[in-house]
Amino acid sequence: MDRQNRYDRPIRIAEGIYWVGFYEERTNLHCNPYLIVEGEGAVLIDGGSRPDFAVVMTKILQTGVDPKKIEALIYQHYDPDLCGSISNMIDICENPGIKILSETSNSVFINYYIEKTRHHLFKTIDMDNNFFAFQGRTVTFFSTPYCHNEGSFVTYDKKTKTLFSSDLFGSFSSKWDLFLHLTKECYTCPDYNNCPNGNDYCPIPDIIDFHRKIMPGGKALQYAMKVIRGIDIEIIAPQHGSVLTGKKDIGFVIDLLASLDGVGIDAYL
């Protein structure tokens, strides 16, 4: 089965968590909205662009979730690849109590995606009281400023130990699969362009390139990795690139990004 057909339906990545994204063959910048389902309720994280709305909503419906039961739309920063479909989501969910959740500084830009009569739906996340509970399930928010926007944050589902990492741990993914699995040789490889296992593609250069181009500087990336090290994580679900599973792979990529040089403006100094 080719990749296009393999990813034409929602994919369960953990208990009650579904990837509802879009396989982007043309650009290889894959966007990954995620749906968390608990009981009769659901939450959508980084819901996607306006052009991708039909694909994302079709996959939400394929999970069996009634859009009217979506209680919150969480946006971890304000870029159009995450936020472009907000108005479409509000329309089709038809839930007058739906909440649009993001960090305070993101509201200035997110409000541009929403009609003024709906600005009251935006609810600021208090990073000192940083959680949202629905149907007995709780997600917690952690601030990762300037990775890559001032108000960027990540979202953690304690039930499955899944971290929704927004642009962090993303990749340009010139050869993409939803799940990324490394080998022990990856941890010590001296040259990612010459795989010791003879593979014709190594995902690590695409991860490095993405962070050097998308993140504004090394200090922001180092701070984010410090925050993330303190969280008990078994799955990392980024908004771009591939899902990471397994503590060894996750620990390796955290170390890689924490020590990365030439990030953003640092490459010019």
Given a contact cutoff of 8 angstroms between Cβ atoms, the answer to whether 37 and 65 are in contact is yes
Q: Which fold has domain 3-181+232-253?
A: Metallo-beta-lactamase; Chain A (3.60.15)
Given a contact cutoff of 8 angstroms between Cβ atoms, the answer to whether 158 and 140 are in contact is yes
Say how many C-beta atoms besides its own lie within 10 A of residue 249's C-beta: 17
DSSP letters, 42-95, are: EEEES---STTHHHHHHHHHHTT--GGGEEEEE-SS--HHHHTTHHHHHHHH--
Q: How many CA atoms lie within 13 A of 91 on its CB side?
A: 11
pLDDT, one tens digit for every residue, the chain (269 residues):
556 567 999 999 999 999 999 877 776 678 899 999 999 999 999 999 999 999 999 999 999 999 999 999 999 999 999 999 999 999 999 999 999 999 999 999 999 999 998 999 999 998 877 999 999 999 999 999 999 999 999 999 999 999 999 999 999 888 889 999 998 899 999 889 888 888 888 999 999 999 999 999 999 999 999 999 999 999 999 999 999 999 999 999 999 999 999 999 999 99
Q: Smallest Cα–Cα separation from 35: which of 51, 49, 23, 21?
A: 21
Lookup: tokens for 185: 């040789």
Q: Which residue in this structure is represented by tokens 């490889």?
A: 189
| CA separation, residue 58 to residues 22, 54, 64, 92 (Å) | 11, 6, 10, 11
